[in-house]
Amino acid sequence: MDAYLVAILTVAGVYVVLALALNLQFGLTGLINFGVVGFFGIGAYASGIATETLGLPFVGGLMVAILAGGVTGVGVALLSLRLSGDFLAIVTLGFAETARLVFNNEDWLTGGPRGFIIRTRPVMSGLSRDVTAWAVLGLVAAAALITFLVLRRLADAPYGRILRAIREDDLVPSTLGKNVFVYRLQVFVVGSAAMAAAGSLYAHYVQTITPDNFTTPVAILVWMAVIVGGAGNMLGSVLGALLVTVLYEGSRFVTAGISVLDAEQISALRFILIGTVLILTIRFRPMGILPESQRRASASVPPTTP
């Protein structure tokens, strides 16, 4: 059971990074990215190819993943030119599907449906199985913490104020001299790079990746995490991701006891469970468990008037 807990928390940590990145893009800036899973997958494969095919160490793989995610982010962003609402949603959706087809069909590079085996571990070798598992969890938790601290800093800074303004009504910051396109581009690229970093961590944790690891259900969980946690609130995304993964992974054990159902029914049941949580949250806390806070940097400047 201890090993299961470590496993669940490690996956949860990866989802925390994904949810934080999506929260930067959607929660703060209002960018609808339905291609989360595409960036996640590109990071995973890029990191795997860098370490296994090119022989780089894990850190090199992580860097290649971040770079690949960022560059792909620029490409997708420029494709949907002004990054405006519905168009971005459609382009990112198409991008995720294209990425999955590439993972599936370019066998020479990705191993295709048979999967891609990754032997490079993100922690030093020669440790016992248990210790390695804990060390990987520690690494993922550290990555999640760093992502949280960096993105919260952005959100609380005047930079984050402009992102929220863009989300509310982009014409206003634009007529006040802010280059809205540049902000959207930066946010999209930073978020995509973080999603790819999550992919790298995930790949070196699970050690075998297949195109099936990068399908729509992953993106749905990440979106639910952001919305349940509270869009616009970074701590909310951490909480949402933990809640959603613990429920989803944890329900594996509960549903495993129900022997009358087959695997597919059980998988559906787990999504029904998560969906119920989402509906209840929206019903009773429409802004999420932790709504976007009002307390920000500007409010901490004391009044000058007596």
Partner 1 sequence: MSVPLLLADGLSKRFSGATAVDAVSFVVESGQIVGLIGPNGAGKTTLFNLLSGVLRPDSGRLIIRDRDVTGLPPHRLARLGLVRTFQLARELDRLTVLENVLLAARHHAGERLLGALCRPRATAADEGRLVARAREVLSLVSLSAHESKPAAALSGGQKKLLELARCLMAEADIILLDEIAAGVAPHLVEKIGQLVIRLNRDHGKTFVIIEHNIGFIRSLASRVVVMASGRVLAEGSFTHVAANRTVIESYLGQAA
The stretch near partner 1 (CB under 8 A) out of 42-50, 99-107, 124-132, 296-304 is 296-304
Q: Are 32 and 80 in contact (CB under 8 A)?
A: no
Q: How many residues bind partner 1 (CB under 8 A)?
A: 35
> How many CB atoms are located within 10 Å of the residue 46 CB?
25
Residue type at position 144: A
- Residue 118 backbone phi and psi in degrees, to 5: -120, 115
306 binds partner 1 (CB under 8 A): no
Residues 233-292 touching partner 1, rule: CB under 8 A, are 292
To the nearest 10 degrees (0 to 180), the angle between helices 85-105 and 58-79 is 130
Q: Are 161 and 255 in contact (CB under 8 A)?
A: no
Residues 133-162 touching partner 1, rule: CB under 8 A, are 150, 153-154, 157-162
Cα separations (Å) of 282 from 224, 237, 288?
11, 15, 7
Q: Minimum distance between the CB of residue 245 and partner 1, rounded to whole angstroms? A: 28
Interface residue with partner 1, options 174, 210, 216, 255 (CB under 8 A): 174
Q: Minimum distance between the CB of residue 166 and partner 1, rounded to whole angstroms? A: 10
Q: Are 201 and 48 in contact (CB under 8 A)?
A: no
Residues 180-199 touching partner 1, rule: CB under 8 A, are 180, 186, 190
Interface residue with partner 1, options 85, 169, 212, 272 (CB under 8 A): 169
Cα separations (Å) of 217 from 126, 170, 222?
35, 31, 9
Q: Minimum distance between the CB of residue 52 and partner 1, rounded to whole angstroms? A: 33
304 binds partner 1 (CB under 8 A): yes
74 binds partner 1 (CB under 8 A): no
Q: Minimum distance between the CB of residue 179 and partner 1, rounded to whole angstroms? A: 5
Convert 29-43 to b/e letters by CB count within 10 Å (16 or more is b): bbbbbbbbbbbbbbb
- Chain residues in the site for partner 1 (CB under 8 A): 150, 153-154, 157-162, 164-165, 168-169, 171-180, 186, 190, 292, 294, 296-299, 301, 303-305
